Amino acid sequence: MRDQPPGHDTGREGDGGLKTGSDTVAGRRVLVVEDDFVIANVIAEAFRAQGAHIVGPAGNLKDALAIAAGKEHIDGAVLDVNLRGEMVYPVADVLRSKGVPIVFTTGYDTGDVVPRFADSPCLQKPFRLELLVHALFG
């Protein structure tokens, strides 16, 4: 495996269980942007199980942009980098301008995230849900 940029992790070790304290996540509003329904549902259910409220999920760039640009409060976002051939970066730009923490997910190389988001965590699919929650909320 090649070296990953800071904040980038493949997140593949372990049992895949979500083992974070619910106090880390409870009451938080999490935007899920993912074009694969099964993956979006797994992510959403994992956060819901910890007491989070899910915003979305959005499966395409248009819907994700509408949610991100809207007035709904978002505490954190999980963004699939490639949404059926469209890159999620416009959504990330909107969220970053609002100070919303983001974590990218990708089925490709985590090092392919554009340089302006090199400081944002990126997890390669498949990833452990525990790492996702930690990357987003610490």
The yes or no reply on domain 18-137 and CATH 3.90.1200.10 is: no
Q: What is the pLDDT of residue 7?
A: 41
No. of H helices and E strands in the chain? 5, 8
**How far is residue 123's CA from residue 125's CA, in Å, rounded to a whole number?**
6
Q: How many angstroms separate the CA atoms of 53 and 47, rounded?
A: 8
- Determine the Cα–Cα distance for residues 128 and 132; give it in Å rounded to an integer: 7
User: Strands 76-80, 8-9: parallel, antiparallel or unpaired by DSSP?
Assistant: unpaired
C-alpha–C-alpha distance, residues 41 and 48, integer Å: 10
Q: What is the pTM of this model?
A: 0.84
Instruction: List pLDDT tens digits, range 11-57.
Output: 433 333 444 456 789 999 999 999 999 999 999 999 999 999 999 99
